[in-house]
Structure 1
């Protein structure tokens, strides 16, 4: 099980904000913040815990660019 501190460390390593990562994986920023709060955090989904270690900053930048292109009118 991934802890909120471990999740935050991955986000720092990946150079992406909590809001940006939440958008990338399709959850609301508010829900993601609840997963990372210090007191009574929500459980970090196994899929997120498995995904974060596999990503690199370059992959994240590419995924964000693809998401933004898909959302553009």
Structure 2
């Protein structure tokens, strides 16, 4: 398993609160992790949409607000 920040750490300047919190970290199989970073847009977007739906409420608990569209644009 590999840790992945749903909202990338490289976007920290766009957020008031730290992105390095458990609400923004998900554990992924290595192949899924690689797919998010290296695959075609359809598969990547499908994976990100699924993760976003699962983590949206946790992100908000930590003061991290991003729409699905914003998240997809981060990648």
| Alignment TM-score, normalising by the size of structure 1 | 0.33
Structure with higher Rg: it is: 1
| Structure with the bigger percentage of strand | 2
| Structure with the bigger percentage of helix | 1
